[in-house]
Amino acid sequence: MSTTPTTPTTPDATPDATLDATPGATTAPSGRHPVSIAHLVMGVAFAGLVVVWALITTDAVTGDHVRWLLPVPWVLGGVAGLVGLVASDRRHLGHAGSAGQQQVGWVDAGGSSKMEP
């Protein structure tokens, strides 16, 4: 049995420039990606349910207090969803116009807008 190291046969992890949709376009990695609101809501709700379960299991909450504690994860999930939705909307509206205002009307290939009556 040989102990010499072998080279990996996996392809190079560098991105291929030919896969770019627009020729000549370069995009710098920003570290941000779109957030799925549904995943955010269910993640917060699941984390909240784990906390409620831990509180009930350790007898930190007993009796009638449990009935007030059980809806809290769902409310927190809803709040997280609303915050994520508003933050997502604000980010998209900032790209619509030069001053952050949404523009209406048709835009032709030359860039001039044609407003319909």
In a domain, 24, yes or no: no
In a domain, 106, yes or no: no
Q: Give residue 73's domain range.
A: 35-94
* Structure tokens given for 23: 């020729």
Mean pLDDT: which of 9-13, 33-37, 42-46 is highest?
A: 42-46
Average pLDDT over residues 45-69: 93
Q: Report the sign of the C-alpha dihedral through residues 39, 45, 48, 52, in that order.
A: negative
Q: Domains in the chain: how many in total?
A: 1
Average pLDDT over residues 53-69: 91
Q: Is the pTM of this model over 0.75?
A: no
Residues 45/77, Cβ–Cβ less than 8 Å: yes
How far is residue 101's CA from residue 117's CA, in Å, rounded to a whole number?
20
In a domain, 28, yes or no: no
Residues 94/100, Cβ–Cβ less than 8 Å: yes
pLDDT at 104: 61
pLDDT at 83: 93
Better-scored residue on pLDDT, 1 or 58: 58
